[in-house]
Structure formats: structure tokens, C-alpha cells
């Protein structure tokens, strides 16, 4: 087992920030308040975080994503933390994720995954593939990751293969599409582009004209791009971890800046539910609603 020397045994506070996403200030204030993490110091008095503490920080981040509060977790001794992770692991039951698929992911078996996608495509068609297989699969994989059954590389590997598959489908679609012209992107703080890609495939399958800008687009630029591309609709996606408040603010600004004639469609697990009441914004709770929304748009034009 290769527990030595990889991703250096001691990390500076900056490295830990980059690795865990926890700001330097947060790391320092946790240490002051809760006594954890407790990095050692170099000759100059600078913090050096041992790898096991960084690992534990990662566990803590996981549990926080599930609603635990830092105060509780940081006060906990290491073994109780492990117990919590273990408890959580048993609580969540895998639903769709078959043993074969997990095996394919863990072995990084390009072929097996491709075959799986391809088979589902033939059986259900492209839209069915996304709504019935990919969408629930993403949820399951996220949960399996939380349970610790899948590692970082497994998840990245899945994302890559899925992307290649979906983009392959996209590339072979007949172009150009017909209205509505849809501009797809995410706000600057949202870096996940997979939901966006799924939406693009669904829209293309409906024959819509798609123009994706990928993730991380400033509001000003979205507005400008929507105008130069003469888009009918701007579609945004939010992943689960996106802070609801930020989403709401960004969307309101965007809605206020965007010409009223351009519609604003929003989806993804992180799309704030409060959006229902927001005027001029169309919220989709499920990616399966996309085709109907397109038909609806067309009947109105």
C-alpha cells in the first residue's frame, strides 16, 4: 500500500486551501476556536498540515455538505467522526448503481462504460438515456462518493467518459436547429458543466438551436452574448452544492439586465426552489421537463 510520499506528507496553509476549498482564514479560525486542525509549525512558525489532518478535513467537508455543522464535527474525536461516516454509509442504500457499473468505474474500464451507455441509447433513445439512466445515475454516483465507495479518480473518469459520449451524440446531430435559439451557461461560481451538457443534448434532440458557452460566465457577458447570438432563451444550470442565496441574487440581476423578450430557464439540483414565484424565470425541477418546455415555447411563438 502506497501511503508514503504521495501528495507531500506536509502541506502549507495555501496548499490546504487549494486542496479542500476551505479558506485560509477559516482554517486559522477553526484552529483557534475548536483546536482542530492542529498543524505543526516549521522553523519560521508557519503552519504545516500533516496529511492525515488534511484527510480528516476532507471527511469533515463531506459531512458538512450533508448538513452537519462544523462546530459539532470539529469538537468530535477522530474515532467518533469515523463512526459518523460509517453510520452515514449504511444509512444510504445504493439504488440504481449496479455492481457491474461500480466495478467498471473502479477499474477505469473505458469499454464497459461505453457499452453500457450505448446499450441504453439503443434501448431508450437519447432523451430516455438521459432522463432514465444518466440523471439518476449522477445522483447515485454522488451518493456513492459520499459513502466513500468511489474515489476522486473514479468520479472524474465517469465524468470524462460521459462527456465524450454525450458530445459524440451532439456532434452527430443534424444542424442547424430551429427555434428557439438557446444560450446555455452557468454563473461564474458554478464550475460544473455536466448538467449543462445534458441539457444541451436534450435540447438538440428537440431540434432546438443550441449555443453553449460552457460554465463560469459573468452576468454582463451572458447578457451581451445572448444579444449577439440573438438568443430566444438563456438556460442556466446549478449543481447541488451551489449556495441558494448567491443563485437567487445572480438570477435576479440577470433577469433585470436581460431584455424581457429573452426567456430565462433554470434547472439543476442547486436551483433554488423559491424561484417558483420569481417572475420571468422558468424553473425546471427535472431535466425531463425540458422537451415540454420547448414545445410550450414553440406553441407560444
Partner DNA sequence: GTCCTGTTTTGTCCAGGACAAAAAGGGAGG
Partner DNA sequence: CCTCCCTTTTTGTCCTGGACAAAACAGGAC
Residues interacting with a second copy, by CB under 8 A?
Answer: 2, 4-8, 18-19, 106-108, 110-111, 114, 151-153, 156-157, 159-160, 163-165, 167-172, 175-176, 185, 187-189, 209-214, 216-225, 227-229, 245-246, 249-250, 252-254, 256-257
**Distance of closest approach, residue 6 Cβ to DNA, in angstroms:** 14
Q: Which is nearer to DNA, 21 or 136 (CB)?
A: 21
Q: Which stretch binds DNA (CB under 7 A): 42-50, 113-121, 199-207, 254-262?
A: 42-50
Q: Which is nearer to a second copy, 19 or 289 (CB)?
A: 19
| 67 near DNA, rule: CB under 7 A | yes
Q: Which is nearer to a second copy, 76 or 194 (CB)?
A: 194
By a kind-dependent CB cut-off of 5 to 8 A, residue 165 interacts, out of a second copy, DNA, none, with a second copy
Q: Which is nearer to DNA, 41 or 300 (CB)?
A: 41
By a kind-dependent CB cut-off of 5 to 8 A, residue 93 interacts, out of DNA, a second copy, none, with none
Q: Which is nearer to DNA, 17 or 155 (CB)?
A: 17
| 58 near DNA, rule: CB under 7 A | no
| 52 contacts 9 by C-beta, under 8 angstroms | no
Q: Which stretch binds DNA (CB under 7 A): 12-20, 144-152, 207-215, 270-278?
A: 12-20
| 72 near DNA, rule: CB under 7 A | yes
Residue position matching grid coordinates 487549494:
18
Q: Which is nearer to DNA, 71 or 153 (CB)?
A: 71
Sole binder of DNA in the list 26, 66, 257, 295 (CB under 7 A): 26
**Interface residues for DNA in 222-251 (CB under 7 A)?**
245
DSSP string for residues in the chain = ---SSSS-SEE-HHHHHHHH---HHHHHHHHHHH--S--EE-TTS-EEEEHHHHHHHHHHHHHHHTT--HHHHHHS-HHHHHHHHHHHHHHSPP-S--HHHHHHHHHT-HHHHHHHHHHHHHHHHHHHIIIIIIHHHHHHHHHHHHHTSS-HHHHHHHHHHHHHHHHHHHHTS-SS-EEEEEEEE--TT----HHHHHHHHHHHHTTEEEEE--S---HHHHHHHHHHTT-SEEEEE--TTS-HHHHHHHHHHHHHHS-TTSEEEEESTTS-GGGGGSTTEEE-SSGGGHHHHHHHHHHH-
| 115 contacts 90 by C-beta, under 8 angstroms | no
- Interface residues toward DNA, by CB under 7 A: 12-15, 17, 22-26, 28-30, 32-33, 43-47, 64, 67, 69-72, 245
Amino acid at each position: 500500500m502506497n501511503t508514503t510520499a504521495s501528495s507531500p506528507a506536509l502541506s502549507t496553509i495555501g496548499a490546504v486551501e487549494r486542496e479542500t476549498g476551505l479558506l485560509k482564514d477559516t482554517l486559522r479560525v477553526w484552529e483557534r476556536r475548536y483546536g482542530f486542525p492542529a498543524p505543526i509549525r516549521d522553523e519560521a512558525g508557519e503552519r504545516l498540515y500533516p496529511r492525515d489532518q488534511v484527510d480528516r478535513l476532507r471527511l469533515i467537508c463531506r459531512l458538512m455538505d450533508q448538513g452537519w455543522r462544523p462546530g459539532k464535527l470539529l469538537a468530535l474525536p477522530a474515532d467518533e467522526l469515523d463512526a459518523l461516516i460509517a453510520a452515514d454509509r449504511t444509512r444510504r442504500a445504493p439504488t440504481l448503481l449496479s455492481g457491474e457499473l461500480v466495478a467498471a468505474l473502479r477499474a477505469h474500464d473505458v469499454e464497459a462504460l461505453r457499452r453500457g451507455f450505448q446499450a441504453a441509447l439503443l434501448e431508450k433513445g437519447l432523451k430516455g438515456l438521459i432522463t432514465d439512466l444518466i440523471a439518476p445515475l449522477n445522483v447515485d454516483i454522488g451518493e456513492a462518493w459520499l459513502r466513500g465507495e468511489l474515489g476522486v479518480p473514479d468520479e472524474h473518469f465517469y465524468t470524462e467518459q460521459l462527456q465524450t459520449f454525450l458530445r459524440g451524440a451532439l456532434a452527430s446531430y443534424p444542424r442547424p436547429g430551429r427555434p428557439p435559439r438557446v444560450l446555455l451557461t452557468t454563473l461564474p461560481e458554478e464550475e460544473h458543466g455536466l448538467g449543462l451538457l445534458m441539457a444541451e443534448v436534450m435540447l438538440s434532440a428537440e431540434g432546438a438551436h443550441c449555443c453553449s458557452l460552457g460554465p463560469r460566465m459573468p452576468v454582463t457577458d451572458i447578457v451581451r452574448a445572448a444579444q449577439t447570438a440573438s438568443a430566444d432563451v438563456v438556460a442556466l444550470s446549478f449543481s447541488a452544492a451551489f449556495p441558494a442565496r448567491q443563485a437567487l441574487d445572480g438570477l435576479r440581476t440577470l433577469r433585470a439586465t436581460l431584455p424581457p423578450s429573452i426567456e430565462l430557464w433554470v434547472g439543476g439540483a442547486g436551483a433554488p426552489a423559491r424561484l417558483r414565484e420569481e417572475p420571468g424565470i422558468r424553473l425546471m425541477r427535472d431535466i425531463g421537463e425540458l422537451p415540454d418546455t420547448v414545445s410550450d415555447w414553440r406553441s407560444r411563438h
